[in-house]
Structure 1
Amino acid sequence: MDFFEDVVVGTVTPLGSHSFFAEEITAFARSFDPQPFHLDAAVGARMHFGGLAASGWHTAAVAARLRAQAIARHHAELHRQGRPVPRIGPSPGFKNLKWLRPVLAGDTVTFASEVIAKKPSASRPEWGLVFTHETGTDQFGRPVFALDDCVFVEREES
């Protein structure tokens, strides 16, 4: 993420890919979402999922991790170039979270983030708000995950 003034609406940033394997799916489910179709492949197969399905929250957590890692890589590159690195503030929230199809054991999901809008913060002049549309697509090119996110980004003018 660049300084607010340098963020360009329409920019798409690849966040990376993640393969969801059975052991990770069940470990996440045991800790955070212990529903039978996240814990047992036979139960998932008997349901409309067709197999062991990752928790939607697992998919969202992976997307969040990949987003944070992509920002860290970009900031490290800015630092290597001797350029100033903007502060990234918290997210005031997200909306339109959608789990569009099940993520099954063995699926690889590729995540991306598109800047869809930005505006200066009305209450904090040193910050701007950057709005993004986050997506996840499986190895067959089918959308499996989406959400609209917002984050505070430092203004260079401050």
Structure 2
Amino acid sequence: MTGSEGPLEIGRFTFTRDEILRFARDFDPQPFHVDEAAAAASHFGGLVASGWHTVCTWMGLFVRANGAAAGLPPDHPAVLSPVGVGFGLEVLKWPAPVRADDTIVFFTEVLEARPSGTRPGWTIYHRRNSARRQDGTEVLSFELRHMAPAPTS
């Protein structure tokens, strides 16, 4: 099987100053993420979100956009693991910063999908994922390979 017809929007998120600071204090406490004065003196010229914050936001939106289908038994793979199991990220890039009040649009695109040879009812996916600022500038891109329940259509 080949990929989809192009990128699919999975959601939008506005990064607030408080949200940038909260995430960075807990998970990426570099000065340009947690200290506005240090951020202003940095090459960014101001506070920016952690790249990991953008990846985690993508993941949350991806899971929510792929929720389990209604009416399936509780032990169905699509209920237990709607987006499956990841094999890892490749070619992770943060080409432009995300600043407070930026609204980011997140996308996923299936590059390849094939039935699993060892797990009936599961599909192996290769995806390109990305995110863009409101002005169209790409702020995140990466490829993901994962195994997920086969579409139930």
Normalised to the residue count of structure 1, the TM-score between the two structures is 0.81
Question: In the aligned structure 2, how far is the partner of 1:156 from the partner of 1:26?
Answer: 38
Give me the CA root mean square deviation.
2.5
Q: Name the SS of the counterpart of 1:45 in structure 2.
A: helix
Contact 2:3/2:109 (<8 A) preserved:
no
Structure 1 residue runs of 5 or longer lacking an equivalent are: none
| 2:39 corresponds to | 44
Structure 2 residue runs of 5 or longer lacking an equivalent are: none
The C-alpha deviation readout for 1:56-89, integer Å capped at 9, x for no partner, is 10111001001111111xx4xx42xx68986242
Q: Name the SS of the counterpart of 1:92 in structure 2.
A: strand
Aligned counterpart for 1:111 among listed residues 106, 111, 114:
106
Question: In the aligned structure 2, how far is the partner of 1:50 from the partner of 1:103?
Answer: 12
Residues 144 and 156 of structure 1, relative CA distance in 2, 3 Å threshold: closer
Q: How does 1:1-158 map to 2 (within 5 A)?
A: 9-72=4-67, 75=68, 78-79=69-70, 87=78, 88=82, 89-155=84-150
Kindly provide the amino acid, as one letter, of the partner of residue 34 in structure 2: L
Q: Number of matched residues?
A: 146
Question: In the aligned structure 1, how far is the partner of 2:65 from the partner of 2:150?
Answer: 20
Question: In the aligned structure 2, how far is the partner of 1:8 from the partner of 1:58?
Answer: 27
Q: Percent identity?
A: 37
Normalised to the residue count of structure 2, the TM-score between the two structures is 0.84
Once superposed, which parts of structure 1, at least 4 consecutive aligned residues long, lie more than 3 Å away? 82-86
Question: In the aligned structure 2, how far is the partner of 1:11 from the partner of 1:53?
Answer: 29
Contact 2:23/2:53 (<8 A) preserved:
yes
Question: In the aligned structure 2, how far is the partner of 1:126 from the partner of 1:83?
Answer: 14
Residues 61 and 156 of structure 1, relative CA distance in 2, 3 Å threshold: closer
| Structure showing the higher helix proportion among its residues | 1
Contact 1:10/1:116 (<8 A) preserved:
no
Contact 1:130/1:153 (<8 A) preserved:
yes
